[in-house]
Structure 1
């Protein structure tokens, strides 16, 4: 029995070594409970992003179905076309500003959201924001796969017209809220996306180039085609404002509706805003900060607003052509292939629709990989560094799409999806804490070695910075009531609840920002001005180390000793 137990223990030890994430000590990497090669500050040879990469990254969040459909929600709220475009422009400008604030730590210290939260929340407390993001990445990845699957279904229908007539009777259970064509499209989109998970973020340049150019050209082609065929636009393009100010009744005035829509625009991108430092850490040098800002602002404001405008024009022109409003690109593309009796048109129309749908599909696929799968991989790596790196975490996130069952979420659990879209209620206070802590409390000074050791100064009390948790709760507590009554459509609830919810992002951010600063004044931290005297991870160029007042790491030192904080000199500035 003893021999058997020893053999079992030996086999288990060998299995753990096999599945453990590898590390190259010569590159100052170490794998333990808090670190692996994807979590340490990125060394210069892995930092490959310049202006083009950031332009491509933010383009992916603009050249998509969500941005195309954005005007429909705001027109439904009663805004005019001009007011709708103003809301989109203002919302995207704010997104660009706050994304840059969150990303600044990554530009300077080359660490991502996963590690950045350790000096704000504590080594163990950082699991609180991490688990939130893991949940969001799982669910949004699943929903994005479902949306992309509809585009793939259009592509398949363009090649095989009989595909749209597949009988559901013997294909799916009766209680499944989806058609056979939708499920096949979902599987194909999910399956063909998997190989892209093997591309590391430092090699995203080519996929960015292909997807952005292809989808951009596809959208322009749809614009030209629709205007040429319709010879103008339909009534939806001239929709007037229908919001009538009436302070004495429950009718909202235009200002509050616009604030609600701006808040909604920001909320739909809140998870992506927290991703900022995950990708800004790939910047080649601190001088890339300006290029990051240019790429962010140009895409979020310029490209994002233009995509919404193009979507509005194409939808209005299609209204004139078909007599109906098609805000959803897959529905419009499918209609473009059909005759009035529902039969499929000529092969030329099918070929055109195929290439248009393929453009949307490529962008949806790589946006999902970059913004959900890779981001989820980074967060999962932060929870189990010994066994999960970015690639493994991305694969786990992708397979979780089947567990999340997006066909149930999109077609039945609409309330749940609405709550997810409003998750900025919880993320805004998180960003308020991150921004205040980095810029005002720590004054952009971070001791990197403490971020990977329990014995360091970021361990706080039992691994948790108890200043952060109550401040975060205080940030969302005033607005969560408005979220609840809005989701439940309790229109007779007190108006202040709606007021606070309609400005929940700004209110949550400011409350947590101010309170965190005040709490740290009352209960000040020790050693706030300390940084490592040495570049302990070999993460900086000579110029970067000089700017940060770090001495280069001696070539004879090994990674194990570098990560021993007792041997790392401290510099107080």
Structure 2
């Protein structure tokens, strides 16, 4: 009796937790599908060029991009060489992100579904689990960095905040201070309401964050130039690669480009998660190119100029904006004017970190989790789970103590670049941009089921893509400089090497052992995905086309016509 009661209660809870969609809108919920995974219908594709401009701008208007020139100057490059690396890296980021995003623009599906036709329906969990892990960790790290900015804001309002009693246990006091931890908590709490906004509605937050932070950065640069009466000595930094260095300038530049593209690899892989919301491909390409290339390069330039001018003012190089803001406030002797300026500047950085974290990590994590548990998790629930995982990850230990782990995390592109190579080879070279949407959401008689749900060809292609560069990653992550030179050189080319090895090998394996369904697509728009213009270009019948075909002859002739166009039409034809 007790066991049956427990089973009933579990069944009730499971039923309440199960997602439900409007099946008339093809929003069925099952093992492979829910409302957030289906191909987006036209009415939900409302992102214009500014949405994509804003999406990429928030990844540029942040602390890490501000500090980017420091990385290359510290390695011995000159200022012109550092800026060249930044521009070339941004060009490659734009290229690769567009390559991945095109599947979302054409078929209106995201990364979660996109991997099913390359890895198999079950095999797609492998890239999904990688991204889920990354989203958990990066969300935590970004919350901690944002918390530091929040601490600066609070200190500007109440200078005594920085000296609050350290209430933390002794095990945490070695890694952080009380005021930083409080800033982290407040940042996390204030970020949480943004998780409730659907991605379709992000235009207003993009506008506020981009304008606020962009203007704040420019004001910070203008102030520094005015006070310093010039750019400062850092701007004239020349090439300073030691004569005894094992690597010449060319290899250092190659390393910088690889590092820059690799740092954006996670955002590149899920490009189709957001491109599927676009009203047209012109909106995506125009907005993302303008923002990723132009804004991304300008932010690094502004950071370099501001840091150089601040060196003249304070005699010390401050690459980290929170440190520079605290110095600005201290040198203003806590005056209301200096505190007000620091508050509004740090708030701009804080808002950018907040929304970048929500959009780039929490929402992306929600989409990936929805792909693993579609019956119970949608974007909103998955985003909340990702944000709750922040407390499990404990970023105050990662950022302040485990530097090796953070170095490995930033180099995770070693494993992501081969994924992008597989996606590119499959979609463009093997399938010629043609896929069967209806077979991506079912296991029965699906050409993407392959063998037991796995496409075995993807595994060796992926492993061979990252195998040559793992050795260099191990040495680089631990800071060792005496390893075999060839391992470092391959690691300096990790992104391009992994991409092309996996791309070529996957193409060869599928050519020698061709799977079923290459170059096939549905003949009928099963999910109501396409506008009449899109369907005409793809050669796909819509329900309207079937109705017209039916009305032009007998009902039976129309039904037979629809059935002859492919097994994917059965559901829609029956409804007619």
Cα distance in 2 between the residues matched to 1:42 and 1:232: 52
Counterpart pick for 1:323 among 315, 334, 357: 315
Deviation at residue 237 of structure 1 after TM alignment: 1.4
Counterpart pick for 1:238 among 222, 236, 242: 236
Deviation at residue 104 of structure 1 after TM alignment: 0.3
Deviation at residue 566 of structure 1 after TM alignment: 8.0
Counterpart pick for 2:30 among 29, 32, 45: 32
1:506 counterpart = 2:496: yes
Superposed CA deviations along residues 1-25 of structure 1, whole A, max 9, x for unmatched, are 2xx4433322222211111112111
1:33-112 mapped onto 2 (5 Å cutoff): 33-112=31-110
Whether the 8 Å CA contact 1:485–1:493 is kept in 2: the answer is yes
Matched with 2:258 is 263
Query: RMSD between aligned alpha carbons?
Result: 1.9
1:223 counterpart = 2:215: no
**Structure 1 counterpart SS, 2:356:** helix
Matched with 2:303 is 311
Counterpart pick for 2:373 among 384, 389, 392: 384
1:9 counterpart = 2:19: no
**Structure 1 counterpart SS, 2:521:** strand
Whether the 8 Å CA contact 2:522–2:568 is kept in 1: the answer is no
1:363 counterpart = 2:352: yes
Whether the 8 Å CA contact 2:543–2:572 is kept in 1: the answer is no
Cα distance in 2 between the residues matched to 1:527 and 1:67: 43
Deviation at residue 546 of structure 1 after TM alignment: 1.4
Cα distance in 2 between the residues matched to 1:5 and 1:477: 50
Matched with 1:473 is 463
Cα distance in 1 between the residues matched to 2:128 and 2:60: 25
Deviation at residue 172 of structure 1 after TM alignment: 3.5
1:492-503 mapped onto 2 (5 Å cutoff): 492-503=482-493
Compute the TM-score of the two structures, normalised by the length of structure 1.
Answer: 0.94
Superposed CA deviations along residues 429-458 of structure 1, whole A, max 9, x for unmatched, are 000000000001111111011111112110
Whether the 8 Å CA contact 1:233–1:319 is kept in 2: the answer is no
Superposed CA deviations along residues 133-186 of structure 1, whole A, max 9, x for unmatched, are 000000000000011101100110011110111232x43324440000110010
Whether the 8 Å CA contact 2:526–2:572 is kept in 1: the answer is no
Cα distance in 1 between the residues matched to 2:467 and 2:570: 44
Whether the 8 Å CA contact 1:87–1:262 is kept in 2: the answer is yes
Counterpart pick for 2:408 among 419, 429, 432: 419
Deviates more, 1:232-241 or 1:327-336: 232-241
Moved over 3 A (4+): 4-7, 554-557, 563-566
Whether the 8 Å CA contact 1:532–1:569 is kept in 2: the answer is no
Superposed CA deviations along residues 51-80 of structure 1, whole A, max 9, x for unmatched, are 111111111111111110001111100001
Cα distance in 1 between the residues matched to 2:18 and 2:518: 34
1:173 counterpart = 2:170: yes
Superposed CA deviations along residues 22-54 of structure 1, whole A, max 9, x for unmatched, are 211121111011100000001111111111111
Cα distance in 1 between the residues matched to 2:63 and 2:480: 30
Cα distance in 2 between the residues matched to 1:274 and 1:160: 42
Counterpart pick for 1:406 among 395, 413, 427: 395
Deviates more, 1:488-497 or 1:211-220: 488-497
Whether the 8 Å CA contact 1:103–1:280 is kept in 2: the answer is yes
Counterpart pick for 2:120 among 122, 127, 135: 122
Matched with 1:188 is 186
Cα distance in 2 between the residues matched to 1:325 and 1:465: 52
Superposed CA deviations along residues 69-118 of structure 1, whole A, max 9, x for unmatched, are 00111110000111000000000100000000000000000000000000
Whether the 8 Å CA contact 2:235–2:305 is kept in 1: the answer is yes
Cα distance in 1 between the residues matched to 2:513 and 2:387: 42
Matched with 1:520 is 510
Whether the 8 Å CA contact 2:523–2:569 is kept in 1: the answer is no
Cα distance in 2 between the residues matched to 1:164 and 1:279: 40
Cα distance in 1 between the residues matched to 2:531 and 2:216: 41
1:204-223 mapped onto 2 (5 Å cutoff): 204-223=202-221
Cα distance in 1 between the residues matched to 2:6 and 2:567: 33
Cα distance in 2 between the residues matched to 1:250 and 1:47: 52
Aligned residues: 554
Superposed CA deviations along residues 215-255 of structure 1, whole A, max 9, x for unmatched, are 001001101111111111322111111115x6xx6531100
Distance 1:14 1:95, change over 3 A: same
**Structure 2 counterpart SS, 1:143:** helix
Whether the 8 Å CA contact 2:120–2:448 is kept in 1: the answer is yes
Superposed CA deviations along residues 509-536 of structure 1, whole A, max 9, x for unmatched, are 0000111111111101122132112111
Cα distance in 2 between the residues matched to 1:535 and 1:403: 43
Cα distance in 2 between the residues matched to 1:250 and 1:302: 33
1:283 counterpart = 2:281: no
Deviation at residue 564 of structure 1 after TM alignment: 8.3
Whether the 8 Å CA contact 1:445–1:529 is kept in 2: the answer is yes
Deviates more, 1:520-529 or 1:195-204: 520-529
Cα distance in 1 between the residues matched to 2:567 and 2:536: 23
Whether the 8 Å CA contact 2:413–2:495 is kept in 1: the answer is yes
**Structure 2 counterpart SS, 1:178:** coil
Whether the 8 Å CA contact 1:148–1:186 is kept in 2: the answer is yes
Distance 1:7 1:258, change over 3 A: same
Matched with 2:327 is 335
Deviation at residue 339 of structure 1 after TM alignment: 3.2
Deviation at residue 316 of structure 1 after TM alignment: 0.9
Cα distance in 1 between the residues matched to 2:81 and 2:218: 24
Whether the 8 Å CA contact 2:228–2:310 is kept in 1: the answer is yes
Matched with 1:131 is 129
Compute the TM-score of the two structures, normalised by the length of structure 2.
Answer: 0.93
Distance 1:250 1:346, change over 3 A: closer
Matched with 1:18 is 16
